Amino acid sequence: MKTDHRPLFPRRRAKRESRFSFRFLSALWCFWLFVAPRGAAQTYRVALPNYHYAFPRDHFSHPAYQTEWWYYTGNLTALDGRRFGFELTFFRQGVSREPAASPWDLRDVYVAHLALSDLSNGHFYHLERVNRAGPGLAGAEESASRIWNGNWQILWKGSEQQLQAIAENFELHFTLHSEKPPVIHGENGVSQKAAGPGQASHYYSLTRLDAQGTILLGGRSFPVSGLAWMDHEFFTHQMTAEQTGWDWFSLQLDNRSELMLFRIRRKDGSIDPFSAGTYVDAQGRATPLYRDDFDLEPLAENWHSPVSGATYPIRWRIGIPKLGMRLEATTLLPQQELAPSRADALANSSARPSSARSAIIPTYWEGAISVSGSRESSVTAPATPLHGVGYLEMTGYSASVSSVM
C-alpha cells in the first residue's frame, strides 16, 4: 500500500530525509523532555489540580499545553501460538502559538514511534517519524475522531478504536475495545512528578483494551488477539534537572486487575519521592499508590546494548505490601531498545567512530514483559498465584540521554 506520509521538509530526497528526520527527532526529544519544559513560554498552560476530565474530548489534542503524548502498547498471540508485542506512540510538541499564516507554519511538531517485538522468534523492529501538522499530515482532532501521523493512526468509532500502522516490513491492523472506563492517575486530576505547582501532568489510561486484528510480517498474515494499554499525558512542565530518568511499568494480571508503577531516578542515585502508581481492581476502581507503597527492585540480570552502550535491568522484583502482592517481571526478548542503528549513529555523530553515538541521540528501552507471582488476601488464607503481561519503559540509561539532563 502506498504511504500517505510526507516528510517535515518534503523537498529533501528520501535517504537524506531519513537521516535529517532522525537527527531532528533526536535533538527535539532531548530538548522537549529536559530543556524546553523548564523554559516554556507563559503562553502554555501548566497542569494544575482540579482539572475536570471529559470524554471523548480528552482523548484528543490539548494545544494549550506544550507537550502531549499517546502511548499504545500490547501483548498479542497468534493462532499458531506465536507471541508479539507492539508499541505505537504519538507525540505533539508545541513550538509556537503565533497565529498561522499558512498550513505549513510550524506551530507543533508531531513525532511517532512504531515497534514490533517478535517475541517467539527473537526479532525487534522499530522506526520513527517526524512531521509538522501541514495540510493534514499529522494531528489529534476530536472533529475527525482521529490521532495520526501519516499512515499511522488511531481512529475512534464509537467506543472502539481502530489502530493502523503501515511500515516497509510489517503492518499492524487492530480493533481495540476498552473493558474498563478511563483511569485517572494521581490526585485531583494531576500526576505530580516534582515539587512545585505545575511540575505535573494530566495523565489517564485505558488499562485493559481487548485487542483483535492482524499483523503482516515477512509475507505472512497473523490473526492475533490479546491485551493492549493506552496512556495519554499532557503538560508543560514535569521533570526537573535533578531527575535523570524513569522506570515505568504497565501490568495486566489474569485476575483482571492492572498496575501502573513508575520510579523516577535522581542524579545522586536515590529514588525520587514523587515516584508513584495506580492499582486498578477487576471492577475498574482505581487506588493511588505512593513512593512508600511499593518497591521496584532490579535484579541481577541485565542486557548490554552494543549500539548505545547502555546497560538495562531486564528482570525486576515488584512488591506492594499494602496489596499483599509479590511479583517478578522479565522478558523473552532482551533487545527491545529504541535506538538508531550503528550506521545511523555514525552518520549523525561527530564523535569518534569507536563511540558509534552522538551526544544528542536519545535512546530508551521499551518492551513487552511477562509477570508472575502471588497475592495474599489474609495472613491465614493461602496466597493466590498471579500471572500477567505488560510493558516496561526505561529511560536515562544511555550516556547520550544523561548528558543532556
Q: What is the pLDDT of residues 22-45, one digit of tens each?
A: 444 444 544 444 444 444 445 899
Convert the pLDDT of each residue in 338-397 to its tens digit.
987 544 433 333 332 222 333 334 689 999 999 999 999 766 678 899 999 999 999 999
Report percent pLDDT > 90 for the chain.
Answer: 76
- The residue count of the chain comes to 405
Residue 2 lies in a domain: no
Residue 9 lies in a domain: no
Neighbours of 17 (CB within 10 A): 17
Residue 5 lies in a domain: no
**Average pLDDT for residues 222-245, to the nearest whole number?**
95
Residue 8 lies in a domain: no
Per DSSP bridges, beta strands 138-141 and 276-280 are unpaired
Residue-wise over 342-372: b if at least 16 C-beta within 10 A, else e? eebbeebbeeeeeebbbebbbbbbbbbbbbe
Range with the lowest mean pLDDT among 24-33, 141-150, 208-217, 275-284? 24-33
What pLDDT score was predicted for residue 379? 63
Residues 6+ apart with CB under 8 A from 338: 113, 115, 126, 128, 363, 364, 365, 366
Count up the domains in the chain and report the number: 1
Say if residues 50 and 188 touch (Cβ distance below 8 Å). Answer: yes
**Average pLDDT for residues 201-215, to the nearest whole number?**
98
pLDDT greater at residue 265 or residue 4? 265
Convert the pLDDT of each residue in 60-91 to its tens digit.
999 999 999 999 999 999 999 999 999 999 99
Report the C-alpha gap between 212 and 220 in whole angstroms: 17
- The pLDDT mean for the chain works out to 86
Neighbours of 247 (CB within 10 A): 23
Residues 6+ apart with CB under 8 A from 365: 310, 312, 336, 337, 338, 392, 393, 394, 395, 397
pLDDT greater at residue 362 or residue 154? 154
Radius of gyration from C-alpha coordinates of the chain = 20
What pLDDT score was predicted for residue 74? 98
What pLDDT score was predicted for residue 399? 65
**Average pLDDT for residues 395-403, to the nearest whole number?**
66
Identity at 58, one-letter amino acid code:
D
Q: What distance lies between CA 27 and its chain's CA centroid?
A: 18
Residue 1 lies in a domain: no
Name the residue range of residue 70's domain: 14-402
Residue 253 lies in a domain: yes
Residue 141 has pLDDT above 80, yes or no: yes
CATH number for 61: 2.40.370.10
Residue 6 lies in a domain: no
Residue 255 lies in a domain: yes
Report the C-alpha gap between 193 and 176 in whole angstroms: 30
What pLDDT score was predicted for residue 103? 84
Report the C-alpha gap between 106 and 93 in whole angstroms: 11
Residue 400 has pLDDT above 80, yes or no: no
